[in-house]
Structure 1
Amino acid sequence: MDAQALHTHPGAELSGRAKRLKEATHQTHDRLDKSIMAHNPFASRERYGLFVKVQHQFHRDIDALYANPALDALLPDLRGRRRYDLIGQDLADLGIEALSPSAAPAFQSSDDADLPTALGWLYVAEGSNLGAAFLLKEARKLGLSETLGARHLAASPEGRGLHWKTFTAALDAVELSDAEEQRVMAGAHAAFARVQGLVDEVFAG
């Protein structure tokens, strides 16, 4: 399987800030994708369940952002993009308990997050949803679907490509200072690092 399929889409051309983020995080992103696939997350339902644990913990970290009024004003349908509860339902479908959190979420409140940093984390979260068509295809081979165990991998009603395009267009349109731009980049790198840490922890266990 092609690890790059995890987060890419043939029609997902980027410009502006989204393109800069993609270029700046390419190596980190590539390393993460290859790391995930090296653990054979679709070899069995049990292996897939470990992947869902990673997803659940990452989305626990960012769940508060989807209720942030300032971010909601900047990004289209932010509340509708939230997937934390769906991932929890997927774990329940699989009969798997969530990872016991060892620390507080990265973002603990809906209204006190640093917006540029949050934009970087949300870029990573939305990008992972874009590539979920590949993951859903593999999950179906395990007898799973958008209504059983793979709910969080389902496409939005308007389709993955348009869902991503509307997000990146809004991301590109946010006016930021040079210092804030650096915090967006740092946020994206931190998000990828967080997922990598979770992959290492969960699959090693």
Structure 2
Amino acid sequence: MSLQSASPSSLALRLKTETAPLHEKLDKLVMSLKPFDNRENYGRFVAAQYLFQRDIEPLYDDSAYAALIPDLATRPRLAAAQADLRDLGQAVPEAAEAPQGQGMALPEGLGWLYVSEGSKLGAAFLLKEAGQRLGLDENFGARNLAAPSDGRGAAWKRFVQALDGSGLSAGEQDRVVAGAGAAFERFAVLLARSYDLKGEPSLA
């Protein structure tokens, strides 16, 4: 199921539509950093991924999120990103701040999870690039890009169903969208730090 096939009242469809400009700018930022030119450059991408996954790790242990997303415990990628850094011989980055998701209210946190889960779809292309250009795969160096055990499409469909069946009010849905926007911006900042870019970019 794609977001395009969701119902007109779908929260997932609203998220896709309203965050599309941010998503497009983030994709362009990622590719401008040339993560597949060499393993060192790719390692910087994985470091940003690790820190983003660290940000949302607390959400996976929150019973409120698990009640909405039954298979939530199968979805984290923090351990995968950490293993990839080890494969690449790169130190695990230290964060100077508490995870962003710590104590985050449910509507906003769903937006962050939307960004993480949606990135698994685009990761199919990234995994192919990592394999062809860097000799990495889902067992070495590119675990964080691997497909869920039952496939990207099936895992995404279940997540969309959970979002659309969440029963959130209009105001709460606004907060989900705001959370997704904040998550896109956060990943851009983490990339900028990992690649030592001057300043911290805004996707706005």
Q: Is the 8 A contact 1:76 1:166 kept in 2?
A: no
Q: Give the share of equivalent positions with the same residue, in percent.
A: 49
Residue in 1 that maps onto 2:123: 132
In structure 2, do the counterparts of structure 1 residues 92 and 39 end up closer, same or farther at CA, with 3 Å as the change threshold?
same
Q: Is the 8 A contact 2:138 2:146 kept in 1?
A: yes
Distance 2:196 2:171 in 1: 37
Residue in 2 that maps onto 1:145: 137
Counterpart of 1:47, as a letter, is: N
2:154 corresponds to 1:162: yes
Distance 1:117 1:144 in 2: 34
Moved over 2 A (4+): 11-15
Q: Is the 8 A contact 2:3 2:12 kept in 1?
A: no
In structure 2, stretches of 5+ residues that fail to align are 198-204
Taking structure 2 as the reference length, what is the TM-score of the superposition?
Answer: 0.90
Distance 1:123 1:92 in 2: 27
Residue in 1 that maps onto 2:62: 68
- SS of residue in 1 equivalent to 2:195: helix
- CA RMSD of superposed structures (Å): 1.2
Shift of 1:154: 1.2
Distance 1:101 1:61 in 2: 10
Distance 1:151 1:18 in 2: 26
2:17 corresponds to 1:23: yes
Residue in 1 that maps onto 2:36: 42
Counterpart of 2:55, as a letter, is: D
- Give the one of 64, 74, 79 matched to 1:80: 74
Q: Is the 8 A contact 2:111 2:183 kept in 1?
A: yes
- Give the one of 180, 183, 195 matched to 1:188: 180
Taking structure 1 as the reference length, what is the TM-score of the superposition?
Answer: 0.90
In structure 1, stretches of 5+ residues that fail to align are 1-10
- SS of residue in 2 equivalent to 1:174: coil
Shift of 1:113: 3.0
Distance 1:28 1:131 in 2: 15
Q: Is the 8 A contact 1:32 1:192 kept in 2?
A: yes
- Give the one of 138, 156, 163 matched to 1:171: 163
Residue in 2 that maps onto 1:13: 3
Aligned positions, number:
192
Distance 1:19 1:90 in 2: 32
